[in-house]
Chain A
Amino acid sequence: MSKLSGAYYEIDHMNMVATRDQWVNKIHPLVKLVVTVFYIAVVVSLSKYNLSGILLMGAYPIVMFMLGEVSFKDSIRRLRIILPLVCVVGIFNPFFDRQVVFNVGSISVTSGVISMVTLMIKGILTVLASYLLIATTTIEKICYALRQLHIPAVLVTQILLTYRYISVLLKEANTIMQAYLLRAPNQKGVQFKVWGPLVGQLLLRSIDRANAVYESMMLRGYRGEFHYSNMEHCSGKDYLFLVAWIVVLLAIKYLPVFMYFNS
């Protein structure tokens, strides 16, 4: 399977995972969205030297991976491109912040190293939290939750359609690549001089396809606002999920016992 076909099936697989019959998948999307945003806000707000606090924040993804039965190995594989980029944040901290905090044998650990590690873990945790939201909630439900939060319809529709058009773009790109490779059997990859026409073709085809999809939507009554299937109201378990996580996250951030642990 080519990389493009692989990416296409990855998206399809993610949709399938999000529609599974797991307990976490059934939590109201608005609750999951609020908890995820709250989690990211708390993680980001922790001090850059609060390494143990950040490590404790790992509880949320661990619990969600277990409850949702989402494969950790697959998640890391899917996030293999974004995670290193996230880790680059703070990579220069050790050069600027050289105050020694403690020594491990003959090695001095500076506050710059701690802040670098903290920032890396912060990045990883926020990406994992976002991934877990997508892995347990379909894009339609996430968009429904965004609308419930009164995010403007035009913005939510952009998100939904961008997600949809990724598949369209991948499919068109795959078709073009297959047509090219079948007529260039002895080549590895695409020749530099052909990149221009190929990308141009991809752009034109994608515009055509996107236009056709838009026409199809207009012919079926689309007037600028997606109408999502009626969701049930939040139930007791949804409120419990919301309150439990808010309490746990705030406790990690503010309770003296955890602060003592952090120190």
Chain B
Amino acid sequence: MSHIHIDMEHVNFSYEKNKKILDDITFTARERDCIGLIGANGVGKSTLLKLLVGLESGYEGSIRVEEIPVSSEMLPKIREKIGYVFQDSDSQLFMNNVYEDIAFAPRNYGLPEEEVVRCVEHAMQMTEIGHLREKSIYKLSGGEKKLVSIATILAMTPDIILMDEPTIALDPRNRRNLIHILNQFDHLKIIASHDLDMVMDTCSRVILMSDGKIVKDGDVMEILKDRELLEKNGLELPLGLQERKPQQ
């Protein structure tokens, strides 16, 4: 097995007794996998991502990231390996300008300033936001904020990228740009989203969740073409696969 991988085995999680948010979740993700985590609202997609980086704790079962168990003592190590892009970019960005925000993580990891500059430049180049370098965080558009959010985690040079609804509130052009940029990364990626068209364009594998359980785990097209399966679990066929009715 490659050294970059995530293993979840029989994971259960709940906030209250007798109300499971995640129920017996088992899956393995390997290097270069791009997994779409899909399901209706409230099925536990975001919770699953948060468990992987230790933003939620108190689960049952086993979660291992590159053979390191996700536990409070190991969180600093785990978080060096995983970049997490929040659903709401306003929560992710807090420094004065774009450059300072991207440089935040490399500086925290004690890199010398020359290395910090190199990491920031590389992250900005990968997300094509070099022109925003000095721009104030408050003046960024929604699409720019999302790209800067991604750049902030790329500057950490993570092995794994987790994204929570990355295309939410993006206009078609920014959405297309984001998909183009995501497809250039060869990290292990797990993308939680309702945007099935985006999942179809970026992911090779899909995990479909319902009521905290994994209903199906398999090839992206196999699952996204299955209208009956999607509708049974509160979703619809991606727009790109829906037949258009001729207008009268």
User: Which A positions have Cβ atoms within 8 angstroms of B?
Assistant: 8, 12, 15-16, 19, 138-140, 164, 167, 171, 209, 212-213, 215-223, 227-230
Contact = CB atoms under 8 A, between A and B. Distances in A.
Contacts of A229: 100, 103, 107, 113, 116
Interface in B117-147: 134, 136, 138-139
Contact of B152 (A209, A218, A220, A227): A220
16 contacts: A19-B96, A139-B96, A140-B100, A167-B138, A209-B91, A215-B55, A216-B93, A216-B94, A217-B94, A217-B104, A219-B82, A221-B80, A221-B108, A223-B108, A229-B103, A229-B116
Nearest to A220: B105
B84 A212 contact: no
A213 B94 CA distance: 7
Given A16-B136, A167-B138, A219 B79 contact: yes
Contacts, number: 70
Interface of A is mostly: helix
Given A209-B91, A220-B79, A229-B107, 11 more contacts: A12-B138, A164-B94, A215-B55, A216-B94, A219-B83, A220-B104, A220-B156, A221-B105, A222-B108, A227-B108, A230-B113
Contacts of A164: 94
Interface in B77-92: 79-80, 82-84, 86, 88, 90-92
B74 to A, nearest CB: 14
Nearest to A210: B91
A212 B86 contact: yes
A221 B91 contact: no
A227 B88 contact: no
B6 interface: no
Nearest to A163: B96
Nearest to B156: A220
A228 B113 CA distance: 10
Interface in B55-81: 55, 76, 79-80
Closest 8 CB pairs of A and B: A221-B108, A212-B91, A220-B105, A227-B107, A230-B113, A216-B92, A12-B138, A213-B94
A138 B108 contact: no
A220 B100 CA distance: 13
A15 B91 contact: no
B38 interface: no
Contact of B88 (A16, A212, A223): A212
Interface in B12-27: none
Nearest to A208: B91
Contacts of B139: 12
Nearest to B82: A219
B48 interface: no
A169 to B, nearest CB: 13
A219 B113 contact: no
B80 to A, nearest CB: 7
A238 B114 CA distance: 25
